[in-house]
Amino acid sequence: MTQTEYEVLRCPNCGAEWRPTTMATGVKISCPVCFHYFEQPDALETRKPFSVRDFAEQISALINRARTEGLSSDVITKVLRDELAYNAELANPSHIFHVQIVDLGPAEGATRTLPPNEARMILQRRSTPLVKR
C-alpha cells in the first residue's frame, strides 16, 4: 500500500464505500454520501465477521426493547417497513420501492384470538338487519 492509498471505508449508515484521502485512527470521519459521522475503527483491531444470525439477534433485541419501552406494534412495523424500503432503494437507486407486509392469517390449525380493541372494532362495524314486526 502506498502512502496515498488507503483501505476502503464503508459507512455504517448508508453503506457507501470510498477511499479516504487521509487516515487517522480513533478520529471521527464523515461519509461523503450521507454525511454521517462515525469513528474509524483501529486498523489493527480484529473483528469477528458479522453473521446473519448476529444481525437477526440484534434486530430481535431492538424490537423487544421497543416493545418494553412502550412502542406499539404498528409503529415498529412502520419503522421496519421504511428501513427495508430505504435499503432496497440504496441497492438500486434508479427504482422506487414500496414494502408491503401481508397478513396471511393464522397458521393452519391455529385459532386466532383478537385483541380486545380489535374485536370491539369489528363488532361495531357489523350492521344488524332491521326486523319488521
Has residue 109 been placed in a domain? no
Distance CA 102, CA 111 (A): 19
What's the confidence (pLDDT) of residue 24? 60
Residue 6's nearest CA partner among 31, 25, 26 is: 25
Q: Report CA-CA distances (Å) from 98 to 72, 95, 101.
A: 22, 10, 10
pLDDT at 123 (0 to 100): 60
DSSP string, 19-57: --SS--TT-EEE-TTT--EEEPPPTT---PPPPHHHHHH
Q: Say which CATH number the domain at 33 has.
A: 2.20.28
Residue 117 lies in a domain: no
Residue 126 in domain? no
Tell me if 123 is assigned to some domain: no
80 and 99, same domain (yes or no): yes
Query: Are both 35 and 52 inside the same structural domain?
Result: no
Residue 74 falls inside a structural domain: yes
- Identify whether residues 31 and 58 lie together within a single domain: no
Pair (11, 57) in one structural domain = no
Q: How many separate domains does the chain show?
A: 2
- Domain range enclosing 31: 1-45
Rounded to the nearest 10 degrees, what angle do helices 52-68 and 73-91 cross at?
150
Q: What pLDDT, on a 0 to 100 scale, did the predictor assign at position 3?
A: 42
pLDDT in tens, the chain (133 residues): 444 455 777 888 888 888 777 666 566 788 888 888 877 665 445 567 778 899 899 999 999 999 999 999 889 999 998 888 888 888 887 888 777 878 777 777 766 666 666 656 666 666 555 656 5
Looking at the domain assignment, is residue 115 inside a domain?
no
In a domain, 1, yes or no: yes
Question: CB 71: neighbour CB atoms within 10 A?
Answer: 13
Same domain, 25 and 54: no
Q: Are residues 74 and 100 in the same domain?
A: yes
Percent helix / strand / coil, the chain, rounded to 5: 35, 10, 60
Do the Cβ atoms of 42 and 21 come closer than 8 Å? no
